[in-house]
Each structure stands twice: as C-alpha cells, then as structure tokens.
Amino acid sequence: MNPKVSKPILVIKFGTASITLTSGEPDVRIISEIARQVSEIHSQYRIIIVSSGAVGAGKAYINDYKGTMTQRKAAASVGNPLLVGLYASYFAPNNIYIAQSLCERQHFANRNKFLQLKETFEELWSNGIIPIVNENDVVSDRELKFSDNDELATLLAVGFGAESLMFCTSVGGLLDEEGRILRNVSNVNEVFKFVRTDKSFLGLGGMASKLTFAKLASRMAIRVVIFGMNQQNELLNALKGEAGTLITPGKSTLSARNRWLGSGGLVSGTLRVDEGASKALLKRKSLLAVGVTEVTGDFEAGEIIEIYSPDDEMIAVARARETSSAIRSNLKTVNFEVAHANDIVLL
C-alpha cells in the first residue's frame, strides 16, 4: 500500500508556554516526552509538529534583551537550531529523524508554493521523517507574520486535509467556569464565554486564538483536540479522546483546492454584502458588486478576501476577481463580477 495515501495526517502544535521553563529555555523533560509519545504513533500517521519556543531558546544569547522585533528575530535565528537539535536528539533513540521547515505566509497565499511545500512534506513522510515547523521569524515582518503558530498549524491542517489537529496548552484543555476541563465541545461558539482574556507571558497566542482556529478546522471536518503534557501519556490519551478537550468535527465535501482556499491562506481584505447577495452566495452564485456594501483593505485581483453577511458573520472566503479600488469604483455597476462562484468557498 502506498504510504503517501494510506496514513492520515496529524498536526500537533506545541506553544511556547507548554514546552519552556519560566526562564524561557526549552523544557527538556517535556520535549523528551513529546518524542517518546509521538514515536509510539509514528507508524500510524503522517505527522507534522508545529513548535514554538525558538525565541525563548535563543534570547539568552542576545545582550540586553528587551524583546524588540530585531532582537526577537536574532533570538529566533539562534534558538531555532537549538530547539530542532533537542527534538532530533530525543527522537534519535527511536530511529526517527526530523526535518526543519520554516514557513512564511506566502507559502500559503500562493497555491503553487503551497503545493511545493506539500510535495516536500510528502517526500519527508515517505522516508519516515517528521517535519518540525515554525514561522520564519528571522525574515518575517509584522505584516507577514502569522497571528501565532495556532494559525500556522491550522493552515497546514486544513490545506493538507489532516484528520486531526492537536493544540498543546499549559492548562490541559478548555476550562469551564469552575476550572474543570470540558471533555467534549460540539459548538465552539457556545464556549467562548469560558475563555480568559489574559495569555501566557511567553506566548503570543491564548485559548481564544485556539478556539478561533479550532472553529475553522472543525468546519473543514478536522477533529480538534486541546490537551496538555502534564499527565502521564497525555498526548496519547488525548488523541484517543481520553484526555483534554475534543471539538467535534463537522462535515465537509470540499475539494483539496477549496480546502486550501477555505483556510484563508493570506487574507488581504474583507467585503460586507447585503441580504440579497448573502442569499445568492448560499445558492452558490457569483458575487456581484451591486451586492457589496463595504470594502475593507487594499487587495489585488487574485488575492484572498473574506465575505461577511449584514449580521457580521463570515459566510465565505473567495479569490477576488478585481482589485479593491475597482470594486469600490463599481459598487453600482450592473453585472460587475467581484468573485466567481468557482472561487468562493462557503463556511
């Protein structure tokens, strides 16, 4: 059986707070446990590990570190090889090799680049190698950064058609009002009320971020698990649904191309549409300028945009057929096509 198609894809994201000490240095105990537990399921999945922690691993080597953008880039350039080296050393006893992949948003915005990334990963998987992914902090500017590695992990999971997406947190799952882990969530919208607005002092993300991207992934029929690494075999148990929070996946019949488009890739702008256009989209019609009530952002033809209903609900993403300026200039023009039906993915 072809190994490229026989195994489901599993994306596991580890945040800074979940794999580092309070000093910011990598917690070797946690990383060794990650390697041990992932090694146990290595033969069953094509695995991607998305790991934060590079800045924390490297900042001790930057004099008078204050966390400026330039210092963060420098710390990441030092920390990335240190972090990958740790993963490599703990996977090695299980005869598993790892590869480093530093991604930028352009790898997801351009479908050809995305497919090249996927082909590279397929080659790694066919050789039993696990890619360790992080954002390319060394060259990324503010405008090009992922909102955090939760987004990067979700883009990979949605674009690659993963079976499961796992988010590791320091608290072990989504907590209810009494601090107990919610074991199963069927409607993400109903649990945002439990989210605290604070975030870890080391990480960029938080539980609200994870739920936002979990909602997108579950819409794309991906099983999402939020778990921790503080209990024995917690990763393995969470994957089996015996620990952490499981977010029930929805149903999706989207093609691979539309899954990539639906992930949002690199969203360059947003459109708000009226009730008539909203209903037309739900009937899988093209979007015309006469139905657009508001254009936000500056984008070119071919870039990805989000489409919102009059009730401020994101109902679709699309590839723009025209520039933002052309759309603004033709809001009253009859039959001016903003996005073709084949380039619109309903959410």
What average pLDDT score do residues 330-343 get? 88
Q: Are 308 and 271 in contact (CB under 8 A)?
A: yes
Q: What is the pLDDT of residues 147-198, one digit of tens each?
A: 468 888 988 888 888 999 999 988 888 877 777 888 888 777 667 666 654 4
The single-letter code of the amino acid at 10 is L
**Nearest C-alpha neighbor of 50 from the set 179, 186, 146, 177:** 146
Is residue 141 packed enough to be buried (19+ CB in 10 Å), middle (13-18) or exposed (0-12)? exposed
What average pLDDT score do residues 194-208 get? 49
Q: What is the pLDDT of residues 119-142, one digit of tens each?
A: 999 999 999 999 999 877 655 544
Q: What is the pLDDT of residues 33-74, one digit of tens each?
A: 999 999 999 999 999 999 988 888 888 899 999 888 888 889
- Using the predicted structure, report yes or no on whether residue 252 has a pLDDT greater than 80: no
Share of residues in the chain with pLDDT > 90 (%)? 37
Q: Are 304 and 317 in contact (CB under 8 A)?
A: yes
- Cβ contacts of residue 218 below 8 Å, gap of 6+? 188, 224, 247, 248, 249, 250
Position 1 scores a pLDDT of 40
Which residue ranges form the domains of the chain, and what is each CATH number?
9-256 (3.40.1160.10), 266-346 (2.30.130.10)
- Mean pLDDT of the chain, nearest integer: 82
* Least-confidence region, from 31-40, 70-79, 311-320: 311-320
Q: Tokens 């320091």 belong to which residue?
A: 170
Share of residues in the chain with pLDDT > 70 (%)? 80
Position 342 scores a pLDDT of 78
- Using the predicted structure, report yes or no on whether residue 266 has a pLDDT greater than 60: no
Position 3 scores a pLDDT of 44
Q: Are 226 and 239 in contact (CB under 8 A)?
A: no
Helix 207-219 crosses helix 149-160 at what angle (to 10 degrees)? 10
